Structure 1
Amino acid sequence: MKTRLVAAGGLFFAIAAAGAACSGETTTETRTAVEHGEVLFGLSQLSPAPGNKLACIDCHDADATHQTGGSLAGATSRPSYWGGSELTLLGAVNHCRYYFMLADTPWTGEEVEARAIYAYLESLPGDGAAAPFSIGSVVDPGPGDAGRGKAVYETACASCHGAKGTGEDAITPTAPVLPDETLAAHPPASYTDAERRLVFIQKTRHGTFLGYGGQMPPFSLEVLSDAELADLLTYMGVP
């Protein structure tokens, strides 16, 4: 059975064309733009890039802990985005699609998917206030507690990197197994312990930016405190 989506005003119709085994019958499911946008919010297909496995909800799940993107409730009413560097919601969405979802071609805003995502975001109640986002001075947070760090890992890291030490259930094969693969890429023969720790700290705070590459978003101090970062590094056994 093949399914395609077509738009008509504020409605989206999923038309399923049955094969010969189904006697050639056609069924039609009607969705509103809001309903369609909510579905798309959880799908990686918002980016056509073959290597992308990320969806909006992976960074913007309002019910999860340590979400790098924060809640999007009221986002359509905000005066600016990305810490004030982007003035339009479309531009902000395209930044996410480019930096984190590997999409090379920006949306124009006329696409069915773009309109549906906007309709869904517009339906989320909120005053439009953006969550605070600050990085601060990137310094070694010192020793922490491994027990607390395990909980931090499970809510901040496991959804993308999978299980510590094995990478089991990682969202994408390109996410390094933590901490093993990152430590192996920075061997003690070439890096001091302080430099190896800094690799983890800088990547956590800056994500894909400042030349670090990959698809990882940055963790602000509001999302992941220095104390939690210290616990996380201790749990992972970073020297």
Structure 2
Amino acid sequence: MPPIPLDRRGFSRAALASLAVTLAGPALARPAPVKARNVVLVHGLFADGSSWSEVIPLLQDRGLNVTSVQNPLTSLPDAVAEATRVLDRQDGPTVLAGHSFSGMIVTEAGMHPNVSSLVYVAARAPDAGEDYAALAAKYPTSLASAGIVYDGDEGRLGETAFLRDFAGDLPPRKAKALFAVQQPFHKLLLTGRTTQAAWRSKPSWYAVSTEDRTINPDLERFMAKRMGATTIELRSSHVSLISHPQAIARLILEAAGQV
């Protein structure tokens, strides 16, 4: 199959300047990844399933079966149940990838027997039962959090914070289009805790966004190192899956045993 094309703005420049590929810390005891032809993608807060639209064609071009889950953003159990329903439909080994908040879902639903490896993209990666808010409080507060607007029990990111702190390295026109499809989340979603940590037993990959204003980059590095993930760093805002789709697609292909 043909390799993913590398554009100078995305992966190739990052590879030379800011895509520092490292093994972050001692790897936990886990099996090597098996070859997978299925990929399930999960989106986080302030987004919907279309946030993966730049990555999906690159994976499909390599013959992978790709599904982007529509996270209901109501509660963690609801979100895990939706991802699990999609994983149930896969016909074999599957890479489960999550962006941002959906790292919570990857960590929990990743125990599904069809999941062969995990990919975290600027994502939360809690341990079993861990209070993520308490973990995040050990690092400087993200700038984006100040821009959350609540309407009763529903929260969303205001336009200024969305364009500046969530999608700051995207062309304004594209960032505004993403803002238009933002789905509100329920406050209950933020209270959930994972009951298990799939990264303790399954091969894991992590993409750190070094210019992230939504999750502190040092927190991302800590979580990646703790899980012993194969880690890359991208000079990117929180939405590297949109600004650096080639790099994220390649990371997923590595997790699928396709590189």
Q: TM above 0.5, one fold?
A: no
TM-score, normalised to structure 2, is 0.26
Greater radius of gyration (CA) = 1
- Using CA pairs below 8 Å that are at least 6 residues apart, which structure has the higher relative contact order? 2
Q: Which structure dedicates a bigger proportion of its chain to strand?
A: 2
